[in-house]
């Protein structure tokens, strides 16, 4: 944690924070401190025993044989995909596309959400269309997350062509051979000594700090299975590492790796602040993005900075004897709505804290002055102090952590650019999929022609557009639902009339694009049902006709 946090203040305002659970009190007795800490956090006993602190993060030691997050998701297995899709090739392509769409550090939950969503899309729209969409999105996401070296085309020569030297090069080679210096004479004593030193250094091994009495048991094969041998060998190979106070332990070997469980910076939010200061946390996001989303907050913040600066200048002039009266601050509507810089954030934070914790109290203090020549005298004086100084510093540190954490979010960082934010807000405010298509064209033009967006930002906006289309798909008006109910019960003649109405009726023309698409999908589905019914009726009539041709003759008795 780059900013020092007051743990005592955190304990007052957020007593259930995971930071406190992994920050035991150190009184000089590690065993007693550890037992007392477990008693105060009984619900986190398993986490405290299995996890360990490394700096500002809490890690879990994972075995190298531990399955990947993708392998732990049951619906992402090839057998499950074959059972749903009915085709092995489609199942393999589905798993590959989900892996490409997910982020490189995706967890089990993210894979499960992606697979469940696209399984539902396949049931609604069909396998071919959804797999095509997944493949395109996977290519875009892979291009965003892959490095430049991975995107470069690698070319390897199958055979090397012998290079022929020119006449001048051959002449220089002959001259270099003639002028070559002889090798230095051998030094047998030095060579033997160096060889002996290398052999001794190469055979050295790091000895264990603690003698293991169970080495014979762990390394003996006996009647153990392969799994038992692997487990015993890993147990024997473990090296125990402890932090400075010896309270939280970390057991790890060369065949294991650490997985981050908690990040202390991410655990800090508005709930860690006092009630009167939580409004500052809601303002941080708007000050960070600025422009249309945070224009009002940014203007108010800059007005606050100007007012605080004028007040400081007036007080400085008064204290120096140059009394001056400043003009009242007028609101500047034309003030820029660009996002706050780090310097402006520090000024705004100082002004807001002065508003919240500007209370001063007068306290008597004892002071000692010297007359010179070792003679001193003592007197009492009045001094103004801020009784909430520690709480104010705590609020400032939490706000700084939350401000710096916003830079780690790609979406929030991109919203600081006006072109990206305007397109994102427009996409989220659309109610017609036709407008979504127009905005996608604008985003492509901003990326390709005007260079206002990067490839990563354009891909993010394209993903937002697809999610918005999914949101609008089921947003239907009462008129559209009435048409859908009519289509579901229409005959073939009625269906032809409805198709004509979809082209020429004024109400149908005024519908949104997603509503028209939904109606046409319903029409095609109804046509397919009518064709199946007509084919079944024709087959029954033909069967009845064949049965009538066969006449059964019964002889009279």
CA dist 270 and 127 (Å) reads 44
In DSSP terms, 90 is beta-bridged to: none
Q: In this structure, which long-range contacts are made by residues 15-19, counting pairs with CB atoms below 8 Å and at least 24 apart in sequence? A: 17/267, 17/268, 17/272, 18/44, 18/58, 18/262, 18/264, 18/267, 19/264, 19/267, 19/268
- Residue 131, burial from CB neighbour count under 10 angstroms (0-12, 13-18, 19+): buried
pLDDT attached to residue 349: 92
pLDDT attached to residue 66: 64
CA dist 4 and 390 (Å) reads 13
In DSSP terms, 258 is beta-bridged to: 61
- Residue 188, burial from CB neighbour count under 10 angstroms (0-12, 13-18, 19+): exposed
pLDDT attached to residue 329: 46
Q: Check residue 179 and report its DSSP letter.
A: T
Structure tokens at 478: 């009462």
pLDDT attached to residue 554: 64
Ramachandran sector of residue 132 (left: φ over 0; alpha: ψ -120 to 50; beta: rest): alpha
* Run of H or E residues at 380: strand 375-385
Phi, psi values for residue 99, rounded to 5°: -65, -35
pLDDT of the chain along its 557 residues, tens only? 556 788 888 888 888 888 888 887 777 777 788 788 888 888 888 778 777 777 677 877 776 666 677 777 888 888 888 888 888 888 889 999 998 888 777 777 788 888 889 998 898 888 888 898 888 888 877 766 555 555 444 444 455 556 677 777 788 888 887 877 777 777 777 778 878 777 766 544 444 444 445 566 666 777 777 777 777 776 666 533 333 334 345 555 556 667 777 777 788 888 888 888 888 888 998 999 988 888 889 999 999 999 888 888 887 777 676 655 555 444 444 467 889 999 999 999 999 998 888 888 888 888 888 877 778 888 888 888 888 888 899 999 999 999 998 988 888 989 999 999 999 999 999 999 899 999 999 999 999 888 888 888 898 898 889 888 888 888 888 888 888 888 888 888 888 888 888 888 888 888 888 888 888 888 888 888 888 888 888 888 888 877 766 555 566 65
Beta strands in 464-521 (DSSP E): none
Helix or strand or coil: residue 160?
coil
Residue with the two structure tokens 């019960």: 489
Residues 315, 319, 322, 323, Cα dihedral to 10°: 50
In DSSP terms, 51 is beta-bridged to: 60
Write the CB contacts of 420 (distance below 8 Å, at least 6 apart in sequence): 414, 453, 457, 461
Burial 167-183 (b: 16+ CB within 10 A, else e): eeeeeeeeeeeeeeeee
Burial 89-100 (b: 16+ CB within 10 A, else e): ebbebbbebbbb
Task: Please say whether the beta carbons of 466 and 436 come within 8 A.
Answer: no
Task: Please say whether the beta carbons of 502 and 519 come within 8 A.
Answer: yes
Residue with the two structure tokens 């600081």: 416
Q: What angle do CA 152, 158, 160 make, to 5 degrees?
A: 105
pLDDT attached to residue 495: 87
């Amino acid at each position: 944690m780059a900013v020092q946090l007051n743990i005592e203040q955190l304990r007052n305002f957020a007593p259930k924070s995971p930071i406190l659970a992994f920050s035991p009190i150190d009184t000089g007795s590690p065993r007693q401190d550890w037992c007392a800490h477990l008693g105060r956090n009984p619900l986190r006993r398993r986490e405290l025993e299995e996890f360990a602190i490394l700096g500002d993060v809490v890690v879990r030691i994972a075995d190298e044989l531990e399955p990947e997050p993708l392998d732990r998701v049951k619906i992402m297995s090839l057998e499950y995909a074959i059972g749903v899709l009915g085709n092995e090739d489609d199942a393999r392509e589905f798993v590959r596309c989900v892996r490409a769409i997910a982020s490189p550090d995706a967890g089990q939950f993210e894979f499960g959400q992606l697979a469940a969503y696209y399984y539902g899309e396949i049931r609604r729209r069909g396998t071919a269309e959804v797999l095509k969409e997944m493949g395109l999105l996977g290519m875009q996401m892979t291009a965003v997350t892959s490095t430049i070296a991975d995107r470069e085309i690698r070319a390897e020569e199958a055979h090397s062509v012998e290079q022929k030297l020119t006449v001048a090069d051959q002449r220089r080679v002959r001259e270099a051979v003639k002028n070559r210096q002889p090798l230095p004479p051998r030094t047998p004593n030095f060579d033997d000594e160096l060889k002996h030193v290398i052999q001794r250094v190469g055979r050295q091994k790091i000895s264990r700090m603690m003698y293991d009495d169970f080495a014979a048991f762990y390394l003996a094969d006996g009647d153990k299975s392969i799994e038992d041998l692997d487990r015993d060998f890993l147990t024997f190979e473990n090296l125990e590492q402890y932090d400075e106070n010896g309270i939280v332990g970390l057991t790890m070997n060369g065949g294991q790796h650490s997985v981050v469980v908690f990040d202390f910076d991410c655990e800090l939010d508005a709930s860690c602040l006092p009630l009167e200061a939580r409004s500052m946390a809601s303002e941080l996001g708007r000050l960070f993005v600025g422009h249309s989303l945070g224009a009002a907050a940014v203007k108010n913040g800059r007005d606050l900075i100007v007012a605080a600066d004028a007040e400081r200048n007036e007080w400085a002039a008064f204290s120096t004897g140059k009394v001056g009266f400043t003009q009242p601050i007028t609101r500047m509507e034309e003030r820029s709505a660009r996002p706050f810089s780090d310097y402006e954030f520090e000024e705004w934070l100082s002004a807001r804290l002065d508003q919240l914790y500007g209370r001063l109290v007068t306290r008597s203090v004892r002071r000692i002055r010297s007359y010179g020549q070792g003679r001193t005298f003592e007197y009492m004086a009045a001094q103004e102090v801020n009784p909430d100084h520690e709480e104010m510093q705590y609020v400032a540190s939490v706000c700084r952590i939350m401000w710096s954490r916003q830079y780690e979010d790609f979406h929030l960082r991109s919203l600081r650019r006006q072109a990206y934010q305007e397109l994102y807000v427009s996409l989220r405010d659309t109610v017609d999929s036709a407008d979504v298509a127009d905005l996608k064209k604008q985003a492509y033009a901003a990326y390709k022609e005007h260079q206002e967006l990067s490839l990563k930002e354009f891909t993010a906006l394209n993903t937002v557009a697809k999610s918005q289309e999914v949101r609008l798909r089921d947003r239907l008006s009462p008129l559209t639902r009435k048409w859908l109910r009519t289509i579901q019960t229409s005959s073939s003649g009625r269906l032809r009339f409805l198709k004509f109405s979809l082209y020429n009726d004024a109400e149908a023309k005024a519908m949104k694009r997603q509503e028209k698409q939904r109606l046409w999908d319903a029409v095609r589905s109804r046509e397919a049902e009518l064709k199946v019914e007509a084919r079944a009726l024709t087959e029954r009539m033909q069967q009845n006709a064949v049965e009538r041709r066969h006449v059964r003759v019964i002889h009279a008795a």
